Amino acid sequence: MNSRAKELTIGLIGTGFMGKTHVYGFAIADRVFDLPYRLKLVSVADVSEELAQSAALSLGFESATSNWMDLINDKDLDLISITSPNVFHKEMAIAALNAGKHVYCEKPLAPTLEDSEEMVHAAGQSEGKTQVGFNYLSNPMIVVARDLIKSGELGDIMSFRGIHAEDYMSDPESSYTWRHDPIGGGVLGDLGSHILATAEFLLGPISEVLGDCVTVIPSRKAENGERREIIVDDISRSYLKFATGVTGSIEASWLATGRKMQHDFEVHGTLGSISYSQERLNELHFFSRKDNSGLQGFRKIEASPEHEPYGRFCVAPGHQLGFNDLKAIEISKFVKAIEGTELEPFNFESGHRIQLLINAIRKSSVENVWTRVTGV
């Protein structure tokens, strides 16, 4: 246990996959980084007392409740982590901000542009700091990729190609879930948000889009055994025009049979290229025209202590960071923003920016025209 006097007390709403990821991230960050606060897990809320009590016991919270408003009303809590389904993000986040708490909300920020606008407004009126969970952007290899682009090692950038594909909806007989409801955001909001965030992290603002959002599996089995119509997208694609003039494309799919985490991208320039896959998140592949003829080819850059903050996790290269480590890096930056020594790494305004992109792609798909991205 560290000896830091100040505590940052935490309440968690939702104890599913991402709820556990937040807890593991807090635990790792508290021990790996020199943070200004000791991170303390205080209270957890879920849809039933049984689930909440079980989570409190297994994850190390002091108390549990089936009413998330109990966390909002607890004056001893500093930070609220929200990992509930997307449809609840706005109500929970605004309530927490109005109570003066810091808010760490999983992506996407909200299912609709109007909701995210309200959340941004609430954040602007609150003393609380905000963070949207896009932990892939905390990968040191993604930072190396951006540094190579900015340094000119790739020359003039000519194109970007990105994809986020998984297969958890690829079985046509799998059940209808909240993700299939329009308020869930479809695959573009669920997975496309990740690759859009990565695209802008690497190459700056996207100014225009030409989208194509497709529903491949027209119905799913509901709880009553009947088939329920699906109107959200299973696969979404979009051509992109960046503000710099660079063009590219993205694809999002939850029907990619066999793919578990294909968050991949390539950036091509006049002097070189980079290639990355989240399924091998400790590697970045780099091609340079500067290499001698006959020796040219993609070289593998492996994560190592030279790529901060890898060295805080392991002193030796090749031993690899994991998914929860990226969440810990994200949390460490947010905690420093709460202290006031750093800017918020990806606040609600940044999350709203992703919603603007999603909204523009959907609009473009319906109208079948290039659409300008307006707003933040």
Residue 4 pLDDT: 59
C-beta of residue 42 within 8 angstroms of C-beta of residue 10: yes
Kindly tell me if the per-residue pLDDT of 372 is higher than 50: yes
Give the model's confidence band at 375: pLDDT under 50 very low, under 70 low, under 90 confident, else very high.
confident
3-state secondary structure the chain: CCCCCCEEEEEEECCCHHHHHHHHHHHHHHHHCCCCCEEEEEEEECCCHHHHHHHHHHHCCCEEECCCHHHHHCCCCCEEEECCCHHHHHHHHHHHHHCCCEEEEECCCCCCHHHHHHHHHHHHHCCCCEEEECHHHHCHHHHHHHHHHHHCCCCCEEEEEEEEECCCCCCCCCECCHHHCHHHCHHHHHHHHHHHHHHHHHHCCEEEEEEEEECCCCEEECCCCCEEECCCCCEEEEEEEECCCCEEEEEEECCCCCCCCEEEEEEEECCEEEEEEHHHCCEEEEEECCCCCCCCCCEEEECCCCCCCHHHHCCCCCCCCCHHHHHHHHHHHHHHHHHCCCCCCCCHHHHHHHHHHHHHHHHHHHHCCCEECCCC
Kindly tell me if the per-residue pLDDT of 179 is higher than 90: no
Residue 1 pLDDT: 37
Residue 376 pLDDT: 62
Q: Over the stretch 283-330, which tens digit does the pLDDT of each residue have?
A: 999 999 999 989 999 999 999 999 999 999 999 998 999 999 999 999
Classify domain 140-320+346-367 at the CATH topology level: Dihydrodipicolinate Reductase; domain 2 (3.30.360)
Give the model's confidence band at 5: pLDDT under 50 very low, under 70 low, under 90 confident, else very high.
low
Report how far residue 145's alpha carbon sits from residue 289's, in angstroms, rounded to the nearest whole number. 17
Predicted TM-score (pTM) of this structure: 0.95
Report the percent of the chain where pLDDT is more than 90: 92
Residue 58 pLDDT: 97
Give the model's confidence band at 126: pLDDT under 50 very low, under 70 low, under 90 confident, else very high.
very high
Give the model's confidence band at 2: pLDDT under 50 very low, under 70 low, under 90 confident, else very high.
very low
145: closest CA among 307, 26, 368?
Answer: 307
Residue 368 pLDDT: 97
Q: Over the stretch 101-118, which tens digit does the pLDDT of each residue have?
A: 999 999 999 989 999 999
Kindly tell me if the per-residue pLDDT of 203 is higher than 90: yes
**Would the CATH topology of 7-136 be identical to that of 140-320+346-367?**
no
Length of the chain: 376
C-beta of residue 375 within 8 angstroms of C-beta of residue 353: yes
Residue 49 pLDDT: 96
Q: Over the stretch 343-358, which tens digit does the pLDDT of each residue have?
A: 999 999 999 999 999 9
Q: What is the mean pLDDT of the chain?
A: 95
Q: Over the stretch 56-65, which tens digit does the pLDDT of each residue have?
A: 999 999 999 9
CATH superfamily of 7-136: NAD(P)-binding Rossmann-like Domain (3.40.50.720)
Residue 165 pLDDT: 98
Kindly tell me if the per-residue pLDDT of 180 is higher than 90: no
Domains of the chain, by residue range, sit at: 7-136, 140-320+346-367
